[in-house]
Amino acid sequence: MVGITEVKFRKMRFDIDETVPFQWHPANPAAGLMANIISFAAVGFERYIVLAVKEALKSGISDPAVRAEAEVFLAQESQHSAAHRRHVNVLIARYPGLADTLDRVIGSFERVYEAEDLKFHLAYVANVEASFPPLFSFFIEQRDCLYSGDSRVASLFLWHFIEEMEHRSSADIIYQSVVGSRWYRLGAMRRTWRNQMRVVGMVIDGFAAHVPVADIGMAAEGFRKVTRNEWIYRVPLARRFFEPAEPRLYPGVATSALLRMYVGLALSQLPGRHPRDFPVPDWYHTWMLDYAAGADMAHYYGAA
């Protein structure tokens, strides 16, 4: 087994400061809210990844190529966690009650880490990371809809998604080196996603309790219904019986693109699927070329 040698560590810093508003994407408040949810969840999840991979490096990985893969994966994920923590800290400074929300998110992952063994941790990480290529490729391709707000926040997220696409095989490589059983990973899937959904619920509840609706641009609890509502908007017959109150998350996005993303998510969890086989979007190469040319990646995309 060999690592993916093109994965690289990039030292990045984004201009996330106290002037960044909670709703950084007022043209699509559901997308802005989703990004803020991701930031809170990412701090806890990336920390969990770091703990699991460090444990694997200490006791479970002997292949030098896999160790090299794990080390660069660890470096990227550590930096992702730090960048999202900076974003989260700005939101907490404005709404101090959100500190408890972050503590609850981190605590949820800590309880999983304390209760389970390394085998499960690596399966959990591999399951979630396997979902990222279809999900983040969709986000990248639909960036005009989802990330055309404040460039400071948009650029942070798109950098994160680009690097997730770059190391899309890393978690799978580490899992295969230490555990090897794809069927065990499948067996861990239910507990993996149950915890992920619990964390998302914690963040939504925290926003609902501590951030005024006027600052969010929509009711935080409404985010629980955005997927259902999106399909109601797309099915004329359904709109005869339901009238969604929440704004749309994917206005202007083709239904075919949305369906491809959902099919990709389902297929990503199958035992025989390899994340490395998922193609990167064309804009991935654009970002990489501009980064290599010295472009200002901290304000690379979105509104100035």
User: Where do the H-state alpha helices sit in 168-225?
Assistant: 170-178, 182-210, 213-216
The DSSP bridge partners found for residue 303 are: 150
Task: Give the separation between CA 108 and CA 199, rounded to whole angstroms.
Answer: 7
* Whether the Cβ atoms of residue 49 and residue 207 lie closer than 8 Å to each other: no
Tokens standing for 69?
A: 């893969």
Cβ-based neighbours of 284, under 8 Å, separated by 6 or more: 140, 162, 165, 166
Task: Give the separation between CA 36 and CA 98, rounded to whole angstroms.
Answer: 12
Task: Give the separation between CA 15 and CA 175, rounded to whole angstroms.
Answer: 35
Whose tokens are 């069927």? That residue is 183
Tokens standing for 120?
A: 């499960």
Query: Quick check: helix, strand or coil at residue 150?
Result: strand
Task: Give the separation between CA 60 and CA 115, rounded to whole angstroms.
Answer: 19
Domain assignments of the chain as residue spans, ordered by start: 29-299
* Whether the Cβ atoms of residue 191 and residue 203 lie closer than 8 Å to each other: no
Tokens standing for 175?
A: 């899992």
pLDDT at 236: 80
User: What Cα–Cα distance (Å) separates residue 223 from each residue in 33, 215, 220, 242?
Assistant: 8, 15, 6, 16
| Dihedral pair phi/psi, residue 275, rounded to 5° | -55, -30
Query: Quick check: helix, strand or coil at residue 303?
Result: strand
Whose tokens are 């880490």? That residue is 113
* Whether the Cβ atoms of residue 146 and residue 29 lie closer than 8 Å to each other: no
pLDDT at 238: 73
Q: Give the total residue count for the chain.
A: 304
How far from each other are the two terminal CA atoms of the chain, in whole angstroms? Answer: 45
Task: Give the separation between CA 229 and CA 238, rounded to whole angstroms.
Answer: 10
What is the model's pTM? 0.95
* Whether the Cβ atoms of residue 175 and residue 125 lie closer than 8 Å to each other: yes
Cβ-based neighbours of 138, under 8 Å, separated by 6 or more: 257, 258, 260, 261, 264
* Whether the Cβ atoms of residue 105 and residue 44 lie closer than 8 Å to each other: yes
Q: Going residue by residue through the chain (304 aa), what tens digit of pLDDT does each one get?
A: 444 557 899 999 999 999 999 999 999 999 999 999 999 999 999 999 999 999 999 987 989 999 999 999 999 999 999 999 999 999 999 999 999 999 999 999 999 999 999 999 999 999 999 999 999 999 999 999 999 999 999 999 999 999 999 999 999 999 999 999 989 999 999 999 999 999 999 999 999 999 999 999 999 999 999 988 888 888 887 777 777 778 899 999 999 999 999 999 999 999 888 999 999 999 999 999 999 999 999 999 998 8
